[in-house]
Chains A and B, each alone.
Chain A
Amino acid sequence: MKKRFDMVDLDCANCAAKMEEAINKIEGVESATVSFMAQKLSIEAAEEDFEKIMKKVVKAIKKVDADCEVVL
């Protein structure tokens, strides 16, 4: 399943790249992109694990930039 989320206060392009890298390393994530320009996260993962994975995703994002929020 592929889903897209809006991101708030993602304010550096480099951070977006780091987040993308970190999210792609999370187990169960098939593919993920973080677009700095569109302020969007798009993520593909198995439906049954989605919620669990999203929790890890939020954590990974916070680790790169604590001010950045994902609108779930």
Chain B
Amino acid sequence: MNKKQKRTLRNIIISIALLVIISIIFEILEDKMSELSDISARIIKTAAYLVPYLIVGLKVLKKAGRNILNGHVFDENFLMTLATIGAFALGEYTEAAAVMIFYQIGELFENIAVNKSRTAITSLVKLRPDYANIEKDGELEKVDPEEVKVGDIIVVLAGEKVPLDGVVKEGESFINTSALTGESVPRRITEGEDILSGCINEQGVLKVEVTKEFGESTVARILDMVENASTRKSRQESFITRFAKYYTPLVVLAAVIVAFLPPIILGESFSVWIGRALIFLVISCPCALVISVPLSFFGGIGAASNHGILVKGSNYLEAIAKADTVVFDKTGTLTEGVFAVSEIVTDGNYSEDEILSLAAHAENYSNHPIAVSVKNEFEKRGGVIDKEKIKKSDEIAGKGIELILIDGKIIYVGNLKLLSDIGVKPIDKQPDSYGTVVYIADKEKCFGFITISDTVKESSERAVKRLKSQGITNTVMLTGDRKQTADAVAKEIGIDTVYSELLPADKLEKLESIIKNDKEKSDDAGVVFVGDGINDAPSLIRADIGIAMGALGQDAAIEAADIVLMDDNPEKIATVNCIGRKTIRIVKENIVFALAVKLLAMVLGVLGIAGMWFAVFADVGVSVIAILNSMRMLRFSEK
């Protein structure tokens, strides 16, 4: 609780105590009071009850008065003032003071709840570095990160936050990226590697050459985005503000009708109907909606950022909850985007390691991605390339490599074309996995082959499955790969539709036609595009919701996307979709619940069944319940 809230709480407690004491005193003095004339009894009672009333309510009266002077008549302060003054006039003193007290309790509660959510979401602000260490004459000096220039060397001690983006010049350590990505396993970092601001150096001293000014660094950009997120409003939020604008005057008009029409037409007493009109006014206060709807969205955005997902506005949370189609760019999102050996098959006479060794020696001088992955696998299995064994290796363009060993043996490493050139049949086994197949042979026969493929991410299948269970009806994959490979990947992951052999420019065109088809089916549902941020900024912009994945440090992608996943786990798409849907559900629950209870209570109030106490509960109680419901979003976790 802050100072202001504490003061409010103190006032509430004092005024409750006073109210109780005053009520007891008047109870005891009942006989004496009845001896007094009606007028003087009223004056004494009003004066007494005004004390607790004003302790909590003066603020409200002042605000109401000032708003009237400024031309804003119908707000909740006004409603409360009118209702309580009316109650005083009708001789319901305890009720008048109690209504004001309850109203203030409700306000205080709202205030605390909103502050709490605000702190929860801005806990990201803990990302913000307070200082950067600069070495000067052998001593460390703390400076404002904004003052550090590109090219400066900063020192990051163990346990400190990295203040600016840069390259490690000296030292090695483990860095914790959990504040950025939600990933809690520390990552190793050594000289020459890029380091992002917002990470925490877990051990050792790092010297970092700054590559970006503070304003351009990852931390500043992320904070900027999160702070900006709540200025992009969802349709529900704008609906509520528009709603409140018409709602309050309408309610006041209805109250006036309730107060005067029945007495005039039916000839009943004015005081009864004015009382009912006041009850009606208290119930009608729209604060439950006005607060809880933005609070839910705010909580949703906060929950997402706790999972390493940046949502750029409430409207995107709303949009993803309605989406029915997810389009994936294959490489880098569903697959690792890195080639690796997935399979080694031999004719039985050679071992896997022998085949791999021959291939690695043949590819020794090549930098082709396939050669690199073969060499990587060889080294991973503990192999060392013995250059002494290589007499000569020649590249046969588009086909493979001819390797001549020191003992005069000639080995061919390459594709089917190379095999048919030398007149050798491939071994009669089929590759299990899809991808590029490299055969190893000599002049007489083929020894086996190695399959190299872009490995599918372990979580892709789960991601697609979860999206489907959440209501995504169509999953699409776009890729430049050839059809067989693409189909195999799609089948493995569970993708519905595949468009393969696309040139980079075709992808945007395909996306356009998917969006068009989708819009023809239904206006409301949107299309999500997921890319890794490399060369797909136009698609990210074009889709209803563009999700950039693994975007840490990629400025163009962060700029173009609506939702940014800080790491490259496709399951996070399902997570943010889940958060979106849950947020919308809570918003709808609150709108329906608040309106239904209020409507019912208003009817009961007009019929004279619900009294002032009930009215206060219908107002404050509904607000509190709606707020508590919204705050569930803050505690969102997937399991």
Instruction: Give chain A's interface residues, CB within 8 Å of chain B.
Output: 4, 9, 11-15, 17-18, 33, 35-40, 42, 63-66
Interface residues of B in 214-242 (CB under 8 A from A): 227-233, 241
Is B287 touching A37 in the complex (CB atoms < 8 A)?
no
- Say yes or no: A38-B244 contact (C-beta < 8 A), given A13-B290, A66-B66: no
- Say yes or no: A37-B244 contact (C-beta < 8 A), given A14-B287, A18-B72, A42-B231: no
The distance in angstroms between the C-alpha atoms of A71 and B316, with both chains bound, is 29
What's the minimum C-beta distance from B244 to chain A, rounded to whole angstroms? 6
Is A13 touching B291 in the complex (CB atoms < 8 A)?
yes
Is B290 touching A11 in the complex (CB atoms < 8 A)?
no
The distance in angstroms between the C-alpha atoms of A35 and B229, with both chains bound, is 9
In the assembled complex, B601 has its CB within 8 A of some CB on chain A = no
Instruction: Give chain B's interface residues, CB within 8 Å of chain A.
Output: 4, 63, 66-67, 70, 72, 75-76, 111, 114, 117-118, 121, 227-233, 241, 244, 286-287, 290-291, 294-295, 297-298
The distance in angstroms between the C-alpha atoms of A26 and B570, with both chains bound, is 45
What's the minimum C-beta distance from A60 to chain B, rounded to whole angstroms? 10
Is B290 touching A35 in the complex (CB atoms < 8 A)?
no
Dominant SS at the A interface?
Answer: mixed
Is B76 touching A37 in the complex (CB atoms < 8 A)?
no
What's the minimum C-beta distance from B207 to chain A, rounded to whole angstroms? 34
In the A-B complex, list the 7 residue pairs whose CB atoms are closest, starting with the nearest. Answer: A33-B231, A17-B241, A37-B298, A35-B230, A37-B230, A38-B230, A13-B290
- Say yes or no: A35-B287 contact (C-beta < 8 A), given A17-B241, A18-B72, A64-B72: no
Chain A residue nearest in CB terms to B233: A33
Contacting residues, chain B, for A4 (C-beta < 8 A): 227-228
9 residue pairs bridging A and B, Cβ less than 8 Å apart: A14-B76, A14-B287, A36-B230, A37-B230, A38-B230, A40-B231, A42-B228, A64-B67, A65-B63
Is B70 touching A63 in the complex (CB atoms < 8 A)?
yes
What's the minimum C-beta distance from B105 to chain A, rounded to whole angstroms? 15
The distance in angstroms between the C-alpha atoms of A17 and B245, with both chains bound, is 10
Apart from A13-B294, A14-B75, list 17 A-B contacts with CB within 8 A.
A4-B228, A11-B111, A13-B290, A13-B291, A14-B76, A14-B241, A14-B287, A14-B290, A33-B231, A36-B294, A37-B118, A37-B121, A37-B298, A38-B118, A38-B227, A40-B227, A40-B231
What's the minimum C-beta distance from A66 to chain B, rounded to whole angstroms? 6
The distance in angstroms between the C-alpha atoms of A15 and B287, with both chains bound, is 11
Is B75 touching A37 in the complex (CB atoms < 8 A)?
no
- Say yes or no: A37-B295 contact (C-beta < 8 A), given A14-B75, A14-B290: yes
Total contacts A-B at CB 8 Å? 57
The distance in angstroms between the C-alpha atoms of A22 and B158, with both chains bound, is 50
The distance in angstroms between the C-alpha atoms of A13 and B75, with both chains bound, is 11
The distance in angstroms between the C-alpha atoms of A64 and B618, with both chains bound, is 27
Interface centre among B63, B227, B232 (most CB of A within 10 A): B227
Contacting residues, chain B, for A38 (C-beta < 8 A): 118, 227-231
Is B117 touching A37 in the complex (CB atoms < 8 A)?
yes
The distance in angstroms between the C-alpha atoms of A65 and B295, with both chains bound, is 21
Contacting residues, chain B, for A65 (C-beta < 8 A): 63
What's the minimum C-beta distance from A11 to chain B, rounded to whole angstroms? 6
Q: Which of A15, A18, A37, A66 contacts B294 (CB 8 A)?
A: A37
Chain A residue nearest in CB terms to B242: A17
The distance in angstroms between the C-alpha atoms of A37 and B230, with both chains bound, is 7
Contacting residues, chain B, for A13 (C-beta < 8 A): 290-291, 294
What's the minimum C-beta distance from A17 to chain B, rounded to whole angstroms? 4
The distance in angstroms between the C-alpha atoms of A10 and B69, with both chains bound, is 20
The distance in angstroms between the C-alpha atoms of A12 and B118, with both chains bound, is 14
Is A35 touching B231 in the complex (CB atoms < 8 A)?
yes
The distance in angstroms between the C-alpha atoms of A71 and B199, with both chains bound, is 30
What's the minimum C-beta distance from A32 to chain B, rounded to whole angstroms? 9
The distance in angstroms between the C-alpha atoms of A14 and B237, with both chains bound, is 11
Chain A residue nearest in CB terms to B287: A14
Q: Which of A17, A39, A66 contacts B244 (CB 8 A)?
A: A17
Contacting residues, chain A, for B114 (C-beta < 8 A): 36-37
Contacting residues, chain A, for B287 (C-beta < 8 A): 12, 14
The distance in angstroms between the C-alpha atoms of A34 and B297, with both chains bound, is 15
Chain B residue nearest in CB terms to A33: B231
What's the minimum C-beta distance from B397 to chain A, rounded to whole angstroms? 54
The distance in angstroms between the C-alpha atoms of A40 and B231, with both chains bound, is 8
The distance in angstroms between the C-alpha atoms of A36 and B4, with both chains bound, is 18
What's the minimum C-beta distance from A39 to chain B, rounded to whole angstroms? 7
The distance in angstroms between the C-alpha atoms of A36 and B114, with both chains bound, is 10
Contacting residues, chain B, for A39 (C-beta < 8 A): 118
What's the minimum C-beta distance from A62 to chain B, rounded to whole angstroms? 9
The distance in angstroms between the C-alpha atoms of A12 and B80, with both chains bound, is 15
Interface centre among B231, B286, B294 (most CB of A within 10 A): B231
What's the minimum C-beta distance from A40 to chain B, rounded to whole angstroms? 6
Contacting residues, chain B, for A63 (C-beta < 8 A): 70
Contacting residues, chain B, for A66 (C-beta < 8 A): 66
Contacting residues, chain A, for B228 (C-beta < 8 A): 4, 38, 42
Contacting residues, chain A, for B241 (C-beta < 8 A): 14, 17
Is A14 touching B231 in the complex (CB atoms < 8 A)?
no
The distance in angstroms between the C-alpha atoms of A57 and B126, with both chains bound, is 31
Chain A residue nearest in CB terms to B76: A14
The distance in angstroms between the C-alpha atoms of A42 and B227, with both chains bound, is 10
Is B118 touching A64 in the complex (CB atoms < 8 A)?
no
Chain A residue nearest in CB terms to B67: A64
- Say yes or no: A14-B294 contact (C-beta < 8 A), given A42-B231, A64-B70: no
What's the minimum C-beta distance from B187 to chain A, rounded to whole angstroms? 31
Chain B residue nearest in CB terms to A65: B63
Contacting residues, chain B, for A37 (C-beta < 8 A): 114, 117-118, 121, 230, 294-295, 297-298
